[in-house]
Structure 1
Amino acid sequence: MAAMQEPDPIDPHLEARFLLRASRVASLATLAAGQPHVALVTPAVLPDLSVLLLLSTLSAHTRQLADDPLCALLVSGPATTANPQTAPRLSLTGRAARCTEPWAKPHFLAIHPYAALYADFGDFSIWRIALTGAHFVGGFARAARLDLARFIPDEPARLAVEQAAMGVIAHCNNDHAAAMDAIAVQQGQNGAGWKMVNIDVDGFDLAHKETVIRVPFAAPVAGVDELRGAIIRLARAASPLTDRG
């Protein structure tokens, strides 16, 4: 009798990508005259996986990035046992630069709405980290150097979803508000009035006041048709009574 074949493990590239998109806090490593420096930051991930940060020139790490754009980020998830080493974590290397694109601050504030209190202060600006490398540890003894070509989303799919994003978000919020609430409840949240504020090939973000949660798809979508199907499946799973139109 042939031995039963074990199922393939989760692709670490996708596992790492989903972890990054869900991360709301990170450690930022910078260089100061050749010496390392680490600071806590709040990332907002773009569809192409580059990372936005809202930084103040009053902070040492911001001045260090202005002198040397090379940096690293560390994000992590919850440990599965009492041993902290069972937590998944992702180390990223990249180059940081100020980002003055008009969409940058709104995107950041959609993920971190509380930051609106100080985002317009004169010393704050948006920085964007373009990734140059990634190393993922999925838990104890599960380490992998990631191939950026496999880690970063497929460009045609990403662009298709980006182009449709505003319309999809408006449709979900205006015509399927109950479904958004049901999905949030299934994710362990309470209350009504949840709004979709961001969407990409891997999932979307729902916000209620200053709380923002990540809702992942079962797998990345390859285009707009798959995007709609993924949202419908989540809505149906969250509530059998959800309007399926």
Structure 2
Amino acid sequence: MQLLIHPVVRPYASLITLVMDPGGVPIFLISTLARHTRNLANDPRAAILVDGTGGESADGGDPLQGARLTLSGIAEETKDLAMRRRFLARQAQAAFYVDFQDFSFWRLQVEGAHLIGGFGRIVDLEPGDLLIPLAGAEAVVEAEEGIVAHMNADHADAIALYAQGFGGLATEPEAPGWLMTGLDPEGFDLARGTEAL
């Protein structure tokens, strides 16, 4: 007689950092030493909660009054080097461990989403409501790395103006320290430390 003992399968939540690829697909860097990576290897179904509340509501009160988005779908490992560059541009702290052998990049193929815009403001979304169509934008996606590098190297003043004008930071005289981290058919991403626009 053989006794087989199966592990108990339970939902498991973990904190991760992420970026979006040019089409809006979430990309994250995780370690095989982590339970969440081992779980995904056995069952790739996953959900990512993107918390826009910063831990509290816009008025400083109940965080349940703030916005958050749950993305659900299938997680899969990706070897796309463009995702590495894009991830490190936005999550610079990951440069410390990105090359450890146990780390790899994953993407969530979004199958649906649940948006809570505050108390009682709830809507389910389809992938087409969130993802950016890339058909016809291949040249933009291909040129992204060069454009971002050029803007950061040669046009820091323009990036500061973008941060002021588009980010509502008009009170900062020069908005120093902003970098362009990504570009897609709908616009660009800026970051300064942990701040993002």
Q: TM-score, normalised by structure 2?
A: 0.80
Q: How far, CA to CA, are the matches of 1:213 and 1:162 in structure 2?
A: 24
Q: How far, CA to CA, are the matches of 1:197 and 1:156 in structure 2?
A: 22
Other-structure match for 1:141: 120
Q: Is 2:111 aligned against 1:132?
A: yes
AA partner of residue 161 (structure 2): A
Match of 2:188 among 193, 201, 204: 204
Q: CA shift at 1:116, angstroms?
A: 0.4
Q: Is the 8 A contact 2:47 2:71 kept in 1?
A: yes
Other-structure match for 1:22: none
Q: Is the 8 A contact 1:205 1:212 kept in 2?
A: no
Q: Is 2:170 aligned against 1:195?
A: no
Residue 35 of structure 1 aligns to a residue whose secondary structure is coil
Q: How many residues align?
A: 182
Residue 162 of structure 1 aligns to a residue whose secondary structure is helix
Structure 2: tracts of 5 or more residues without a match: 1-6
Match of 2:196 among 189, 210, 214: 214
Q: Is 2:36 aligned against 1:65?
A: no
Q: CA shift at 1:170, angstroms?
A: 4.0
Deviation readout 1:10-34 (Å, 9 max, x if unpaired): xxxxxxxxxxxxxxxxxxxxxx743
Other-structure match for 1:108: 87
Structure 1: tracts of 5 or more residues without a match: 1-31, 216-245
Residue 14 of structure 2 aligns to a residue whose secondary structure is strand
Distance 1:139 1:201, change over 3 A: farther
Q: Is 2:82 aligned against 1:96?
A: no
Larger RCO (CA under 8 A, 6+ residues apart): 2
Q: Is the 8 A contact 2:161 2:175 kept in 1?
A: no
Query: Kindly, what percent of the aligned residue pairs are identical?
Result: 37
Q: CA shift at 1:58, angstroms?
A: 1.0
Alignment of 1:1-245 (within 5 A): 33-78=8-53, 79-81=57-59, 82-156=61-135, 158-184=137-163, 187=167, 188=169, 192-208=176-192, 211=193, 213-215=195-197
Q: What RMSD, in angstroms, separates the aligned Cα atoms of the two structures?
A: 2.4
Q: TM-score, normalised by structure 1?
A: 0.66
Q: Is the 8 A contact 1:55 1:124 kept in 2?
A: yes
Q: How far, CA to CA, are the matches of 1:105 and 1:162 in structure 2?
A: 14
Q: CA shift at 1:86, angstroms?
A: 1.6
